[in-house]
Amino acid sequence: MIRPRALRPVPGVVFALAALAQTHGDISPVHDPAIIRQGDRWYVFATNQFNRKDVPQFCSADLKEWRFCGHVFDGVPAWALQKIPGARGIWAPDVSFAHGEYRLYYAVSTFGSNHSVIGLTTNKTLDPESPDYHWNDQGLVIESNASGNVPDDFNAIDPSLVQTPGGAMWLAFGSFWDGIKMRSIDPETGKLSAADTKLYSLATRRPSQTAIEAPYVVHHQNYYYLFVSFDRCCRGKDSTYKIMVGRANEPTGPYVDRDGKPMLEGGGTLLMEGNDAWKGPGGQSIFSSDAGDVMAYHAYDGVDGRAALHISTLTWENGWPHPSPLATTK
């Protein structure tokens, strides 16, 4: 197992992953959970404000009991508000360990618009009790514009950093419009590469549908796997989100589903969909390690529509991932 998203091994820290029970504690409201592990503790960062803080941080020792333990921003950064004056919050964080630091990418936008920005903030540690815990905002990474002579056909939200076994880095992103895109990243800075300025296309549902977002790329054995969310988010118990997956030989694609249909032609193999108890699972992230893989995602209570954090273990069979099932009870 290559561990592009995992931390470097911590001496003396050993953990094992078993089939997970339902999560408890501070698990709602949580959208778009980004999961990572430092030492013997798990961390999740999310879209929703919690205790009036932007990009709340949640901690767990066992992946089951979670508590609110910190936050990244007190509000939308000034530079992002200048770019997106109508922004009311920060969306879809993505967290990784790279070049000796934690890198958290985030998006700022407004609903229904592709005038959006992705920013980057860094930290030496994820432990809020450490004296080294301090987020340092690095500002703009990429912007998409809805106006101008040639408006962009992509949306710069839902960032996801990809680290290859050889050390190259890529940023996947995108929501609706022309689908999921990717740009090369300078490993030293975490910003866009000046050497490769090409905008790569990974997946789309055009022309018949546009509802595709939340990319997350994992390297497993000989393939890169692109996880995405299809259909409608953020409608409470009426949400129709579902998690889909395809794979490719290279991070830039081409990605195909289990039946061989290209994801650039609307392809995608169903990984998880809702049930009567929990609707619209999606906004997924994955932590890979030698002990096993886990997937964090949100789903909506089938009665009151609240968004809550869910965790599944991922196993692999015949070259494809299989999650532990979505809970069927509250």
Find, among 93, 144, 142, the residue nearest to 122 by Cα: 93
Mean pLDDT, rounded, for 60-68? 95
Is 301 catalytic? The answer is: no
Concatenate the DSSP letters of all residues of 89-153 into one string. Answer: S-EEEEEEEETTEEEEEEEE--TT---EEEEEEEES-S-TTSTT---EEEEEEEEE-S-SSS--S
pLDDT digit string (tens) for 139-169? Answer: 999 999 987 676 888 999 999 999 999 999 9
Count of CB atoms situated within 10 Å of the CB of 107: 28
Tokens of 247: 């794979």
pLDDT, mean over the chain: 91
Look at the block and give the residue holding tokens 């992002």. 80
Catalytic one among 26, 32, 54, 231?
A: 32
Find, among 71, 44, 79, the residue nearest to 58 by Cα: 44
Cβ proximity of 293 and 35 under 8 Å: no
Tokens of 246: 């395809």
What CATH topology corresponds to 24-323?
Answer: Tachylectin-2; Chain A (2.115.10)
Catalytic one among 213, 231, 257, 293?
A: 213
pLDDT band at 10 (very low <50, low <70, confident <90, very high): very low
Tokens of 62: 């066992």
Is 213 catalytic? The answer is: yes
pTM for this entry: 0.93
- The confidence score (pLDDT) of residue 199 equals 96
pLDDT-above-70 percentage for the chain: 93
How is the chain split into domains, by residue range? 24-323
- The confidence score (pLDDT) of residue 90 equals 95
pLDDT digit string (tens) for 194-204? Answer: 999 999 999 99
Residue 275 pLDDT exceeds 90: yes
